[in-house]
Amino acid sequence: MKPISSGRFDGLIESLSRGAAQLTSRRGFLSQCGLWLVAASSLPLLPVARRAQAGEQSAPKPARKFASEFANHAQTNDPTRCNYWRYCASDGYLCACCGGGPHTCPPGTSPSPTSWIGSCINPDDGKTYLIAYRDCCGQDSCGRCACLGQEGDMPSYRPQVNNDIVWCFGASSMVYHCSSAGLVGLAE
C-alpha cells in the first residue's frame, strides 16, 4: 500500500501503526486485555503467600488471652527484642544488645545494688514471675535496642516502682548504660 504521509517521521509512524493493525486483531486485543485485568485483580485474592505478606503480626497468634497485654505478644526466646517476656516493665536500652545478657551487665559496667521489682507473665506457662529491673552503670548510654514496657510502672511520685528514673543508686557511678531484667522468683 502506498503511504499517504509525506514526512519521514510521519511515514515511520504510519508504517508502524499499519503493521500493528494488520498483525493484531481488535477483538483479540480486547479479550487479552480483559483477561489480564481480571487475572491481575484476582491474583491477590488467591489464598497464596498471605502469611508472608502479613509478616510477623499474624504469625504468633496468641491462643490465650492474659491479663497483661504485653504478655499476649511476648516471646521467651530472644532477649534482644523488646517483646521478650521479662521486659514487660523495662524502660531503656537492653543489656542483651549491649554486650551483656538479659540479666548480666556488659563489660566495663557494674550492676546497681538497687533495683525495682515488678512482675511479668510468662506467655508459655501463663505464670507470673517477679523480675528485678537492675540498671548497669558506669559507662555512657548504650543506645541500642531502646524499649519501653510499662506493666506496673507507676508515676514518678511512686519512685520505688517507676522506670523513668535512673536506677543507679548505690552504684559506683550514676551514669546509666543499659537495663537488665533478672528473674527473682515465681509468684504465688
Q: What is the SS3 assignment for 14?
A: helix
Question: Of 135, 140, 164, 167, which is the active-site residue?
Answer: 135
Quick check: is 140 catalytic?
no
Question: Of 85, 91, 116, 153, which is the active-site residue?
Answer: 116
Of 119, 144, 150, 162, the one binding another protein by CB under 8 A: 119
- Contacting residues for 130 by C-beta, under 8 A, at least 6 apart: 117, 118, 119, 183, 184, 185, 186, 187
Cβ neighbour number for residue 3 with a 10 Å cutoff = 11
- The 55-94 contact track toward another protein, x by CB under 8 A, reads ---------------------xxxx-----xx--------
Report H helices in the chain.
8-23, 26-42, 50-54, 69-72
Residue 130 engages another protein in binding (rule: CB under 8 A): yes
Per CB under 8 A, which region of 3-11, 16-24, 37-45, 97-105 contacts another protein? Answer: 97-105
Query: Chain-centre distance of CA 180, in angstroms?
Result: 20
- The 132-151 contact track toward another protein, x by CB under 8 A, reads x-------------------
Cβ neighbour number for residue 171 with a 10 Å cutoff = 21
Name the nearest CA neighbour of 115 among 141, 82, 142, 86: 86
Contact positions toward another protein, by CB under 8 A? 76-79, 85-86, 101-103, 112-119, 122, 124-125, 127, 129-130, 132, 158, 160, 169-171, 174, 183-188
